[in-house]
Amino acid sequence: MKACNQCGKCCIAYSDGGLSASTAEIDWWEDFRPEIHKYVSQGKIWTSPTTGEQLVHCPWLHKIPNQNKYGCTIYHDRPDDCRHYPVDIQQMIKDNCEMLEPRDLTNQSKAQKKLDILMSESRPPILG
């Protein structure tokens, strides 16, 4: 498995209503990041501040000039849905994630273990 190359595929695939934020995240944005909170409507994220309609693209995803990369302008305050992606190899395959290598597809169990280690600092601990 390769490191993330910031291709933006995951952000593009899920930014049109495929993401959610917890009430705690939304409340925190309201108190500390009102510029993010204005894109929340009735508990749904990435909606138009003027119409309340779901946006087609995340307002925080921006193509890096002269590169084939994307950046997130709220990276440190992004919702947990973004922070925890990718969850599993099947999701990465579905999203055509560029982190995957051919060997990851032939041994998905091993690839999942590597992904779990790679993402261990971004995800909450597994209880039980």
pLDDT digits (tens, 9 = 90+) for 27-42: 999 999 999 999 999 9
Task: Report the pLDDT averaged over residues 94-113.
Answer: 93
Q: Rounded CA gap, 123 and 84, in Å? A: 5
Confidence of residue 125 (pLDDT cuts 50, 70, 90): low
Pair 103, 122: CB distance under 8 Å: no
Pair 80, 21: CB distance under 8 Å: yes
pTM: 0.82
Q: Rounded CA gap, 49 and 69, in Å? A: 27
Q: Rounded CA gap, 14 and 105, in Å? A: 22
Confidence of residue 15 (pLDDT cuts 50, 70, 90): confident
Give Rg (Cα) of the chain.
Answer: 16
Q: Is it the case that residue 126 has pLDDT exceeding 80?
A: no
CA dihedral sign, ordered 16, 22, 26, 29: negative
Task: Report the pLDDT averaged over residues 53-77.
Answer: 95
Confidence of residue 47 (pLDDT cuts 50, 70, 90): very high
Better-scored residue on pLDDT, 122 or 32: 32
Task: Report the pLDDT averaged over residues 78-94.
Answer: 90
